[in-house]
Structure 1
Amino acid sequence: MIRPSLAHTIISEVRKLLDEDLIVVDPSGTIIASTDKERMGSFHEGALISYNERRRLIITQDDESKLTGVKAGINLPIFFQDQVVGVIGITGDPSKVSAYGELLRKMTELLIKEKYYAEQLEWHARTLEAFVFDWVQQKEWTRSFINQAKMLHIDLTVSRQVIIGYYGQHNRERIQREWWIDVSQTFTRQKDDLLVRWGNDRFVMLLANKAEGKERAVHSIQQIQKYIQNKYRHSLSFGVGQSVCPQELYRSFEQAERALAVAVRTQSIVFEEDLRLDMCLQDVKKQTRVDFVQRTLEPIMKDEDLLETLKTFIARNQSFKETAETLHIHINTLHYRLKKMEDKTGLNPRDFHDLTTLYLGLLFLEDNLKN
């Protein structure tokens, strides 16, 4: 049986090609979609005959007085999987509109098939999402989990690594079904790889462990990154966990999340195995970060020149000459700013220990501003 929402879609799509009045009728003979709004919900005896007898029915002007709720035109049964699921009709002179009959039927049946297979893809995608969510959350596998893996044809003996892709904050709109179908079908994944949506601003890839290792992961990410950037103008960041045995996928997921927290700052690809200082910083509580910034950078937070000087001094490996050249200032001005920074914060940027403290303050400050 055709749902009313699909019936309205059919009317809308067919009307783009035919400028005739159209109706869609359900198996009970009730009009569920029509270009003439006044006919909605009314009984159509001709369509009911067409449905029951599984044949095209031409309705003449004489039939209008004999059959309930009909107008001159043609009614055609709609078939899906060898079953009549409804009837579509064209109102008008039968000698003129009959020529459109077979075209109208085929268009309608193609729309129904397209809708059905799209819903099947959506169902499979959601089922796979739920399965992967369970997989990265649990440390012990249940019997139902193993059975579901078999149903989805997922090999639970293959080692994998988790990759999390994230859209920039300016691209937080919901991932549309059409977009996801495009991306997931464009990239031909190897047999054991999985790709699922993850909320409104992320997706998760489970790459099967292959001999190529890190090189394969980078290649897979760059392919998706380039495609989305060129076609949809989306900037992406990626956090990559390490390859683990299937029972410990949760570990790779946690690693990918940790790496992603670093990657979003630069919209880059970050492998958890490459993290060092950032690995520790991710575990620092938010309130501790706020307190640390207040104890280090608060006296100069409103002084953009001093903050920019500090960032550049660190980026140029404490080279006075390169820092001054980058900032386009005299080297004496640089020394003046560093001294002013020391006076206000009590931390000397020329001292390695104090500079490390100031650097941590900058990292925490950027995280607070980002969030």
Structure 2
Amino acid sequence: MLSPHLAKKIVSDVRRLIHEDLIIVDTHGIIIASTDPTRIGQFHEGAFLVCQEKQKRIITKEDEGTLKGVKAGINLPVFFHGDVIGVIGITGDPANVSPYGELLKKMTELLIQENYYTEQLQLEARALETFVFDWLQAREWSPSLHERAQLFHIDLASSRRVIIVSLNETKQTISVDMWKYVQTVWSDARDVIVRWGNDRLLILQTDDDKERTIAKLKTMQRALLDKYDVTLHIGCGKMGDSKQVYHSYKQAERALHIAKQTGDIVFDEDLRLDMCLEDISPATKQELIKRTIEPLIHDEELLHTLRTLFANDLSLKRTAEALHIHINTLHYRLKKIQDYTKLNVRHLEHIITLYLAIRFLDETTKK
């Protein structure tokens, strides 16, 4: 309960309030944290007696000659759930340091209690994450899975949609505090929300209403931006039977990949061409770039011309206007593209090939 690491943190926090030397002693009388590092590991007889008697003890100058390892000051028992778990000691003239005693004792107990509840939340979060992982991987539901679901008050009979929420900032992580805050903002006890790795949240949703889901996701985005200054990418799978939740998870992953490129909330059911493109390997994409537009890689003018052509639905008139060039100049550029790539923009298969190559190039550039 009172580890050396926590004791060191408490000493550091409490030291901000007073300048006297502090020690924290375990129930065996061993100093586990101190503002004087040379005292760590020493036996403190006064603190040991405090643990036995469960009441504070004033250490006088006379006691320094009779009690092992002590210095004048005050030692106070630290309680947690009614039991003494350690002692905090303040070194100095007892008349001067005693007024701080009860305040520092209470502060120490509050820090220990806060640490305890944080650890409990961590355990709860990890247990829930483990359950959801097993749920996603299970091909057949065992009696054990049902029992664990009941412990977490999870209804396995409901249909579910998997939503993956990813932090945009690569250096930030999903803390327990952020996880609990999302649960509060989401405010639907039927849904399961877990941390998924360092920078993701996984939501197993029961509400099939797409518009309501979008509204809730946007509310969550605003709330996390305001409180934690983070932006989110969000991919949503299809609603399906809880036994097939793994399929929704894979769909959510695919949708998230698109969301990271577009910045939108993406539902897998809305994907069409993107659904096919996601299944193409990075190596194949790079090979297509190499076989088509590689000669244009360093000619930003021609690449920009192609992108503008696609953005204007292949309309030469609108493309020329958007580029602020004469239509003959546009024809000249397209002829250069054909010379370099051996692909004609008036040929359907060729124009599709160029479009895909540009998409793959832009995707690589963003990465």
Q: TM-score range by the shorter chain?
A: over 0.9
SS at match of 1:359: helix
2:291 counterpart (283, 292, 295): 295
Give the aligned partner of residue 315 of structure 2: 319
* Structure 2: distance between partners of 1:160 and 1:21: 57
Alignment partner of 1:86 is 2:82: no
* Structure 1: distance between partners of 2:16 and 2:201: 36
Alignment partner of 1:349 is 2:334: no
- More displaced 10-residue stretch of structure 1: 192-201 or 175-184: 175-184
2:207 counterpart (206, 209, 212): 209
Give the aligned partner of residue 166 of structure 1: 166
* Structure 1: distance between partners of 2:184 and 2:266: 24
What are structure 2's unaligned runs of at least 5 residues? Answer: none
1:1-371 equivalences in 2 (<5 Å): 1-168=1-168, 171-175=169-173, 177=175, 180-181=178-179, 183-184=181-182, 186-210=184-208, 213-371=209-367
* Structure 2: distance between partners of 1:285 and 1:69: 68
* Structure 2: distance between partners of 1:347 and 1:109: 75
Residues 289 and 332 (structure 1), Cα distance of their counterparts in 2 relative to 1, 3 Å cut: same
* Structure 1: distance between partners of 2:109 and 2:157: 42
* Structure 2: distance between partners of 1:358 and 1:151: 55
CA contact (8 A) 1:46 1:70 kept: yes
TM-superposed deviation, 1:209: 2.5
CA contact (8 A) 2:179 2:194 kept: no
Q: Which residue identity lines up with residue 234 of structure 1 in the other structure?
A: V
- More displaced 10-residue stretch of structure 1: 81-90 or 126-135: 126-135
TM-superposed deviation, 1:290: 2.1
CA contact (8 A) 2:78 2:87 kept: yes
* Structure 1: distance between partners of 2:256 and 2:119: 32
CA contact (8 A) 1:78 1:84 kept: yes
* Structure 2: distance between partners of 1:282 and 1:336: 34
Residues 253 and 10 (structure 1), Cα distance of their counterparts in 2 relative to 1, 3 Å cut: same
Q: Which residue identity lines up with residue 195 of structure 2 in the other structure?
A: R
Matched pairs, number: 367
Structure-2-length-normalised TM-score: 0.95
Q: Which residue identity lines up with residue 108 of structure 2 in the other structure?
A: T
CA RMSD of aligned residues (A): 1.8
* Structure 1: distance between partners of 2:61 and 2:332: 97
What are structure 1's unaligned runs of at least 5 residues? Answer: none
CA contact (8 A) 1:139 1:250 kept: no
CA contact (8 A) 2:162 2:203 kept: yes
* Structure 2: distance between partners of 1:296 and 1:166: 34
TM-superposed deviation, 1:261: 1.8
TM-superposed deviation, 1:351: 3.2
Q: Which residue identity lines up with residue 241 of structure 2 in the other structure?
A: C
Question: What's the CA shift string for 1:333-371, capped at 9, x where partnerless?
Answer: 222111111122121223333211211112222333344
SS at match of 1:158: coil
TM-superposed deviation, 1:162: 0.8
SS at match of 1:87: strand
* Structure 2: distance between partners of 1:167 and 1:37: 40
Q: Which residue identity lines up with residue 44 of structure 2 in the other structure?
A: H
Residues 185 and 95 (structure 1), Cα distance of their counterparts in 2 relative to 1, 3 Å cut: farther
CA contact (8 A) 1:172 1:200 kept: no
Question: What's the CA shift string for 1:236-268, capped at 9, x where partnerless?
Answer: 221110111111101110111111121211122
TM-superposed deviation, 1:126: 1.3
TM-superposed deviation, 1:19: 1.7
Residues 339 and 235 (structure 1), Cα distance of their counterparts in 2 relative to 1, 3 Å cut: farther
* Structure 2: distance between partners of 1:131 and 1:279: 29
Q: Which residue identity lines up with residue 187 of structure 1 in the other structure?
A: V
CA contact (8 A) 2:174 2:195 kept: no
* Structure 1: distance between partners of 2:331 and 2:85: 82
SS at match of 1:264: helix
SS at match of 1:88: strand
Residues 20 and 182 (structure 1), Cα distance of their counterparts in 2 relative to 1, 3 Å cut: farther
TM-superposed deviation, 1:284: 1.7
Q: Which residue identity lines up with residue 135 of structure 1 in the other structure?
A: W
CA contact (8 A) 2:233 2:264 kept: yes
Residues 366 and 140 (structure 1), Cα distance of their counterparts in 2 relative to 1, 3 Å cut: farther
Structure-1-length-normalised TM-score: 0.94
* Structure 1: distance between partners of 2:186 and 2:167: 22
Q: Which residue identity lines up with residue 316 of structure 2 in the other structure?
A: F
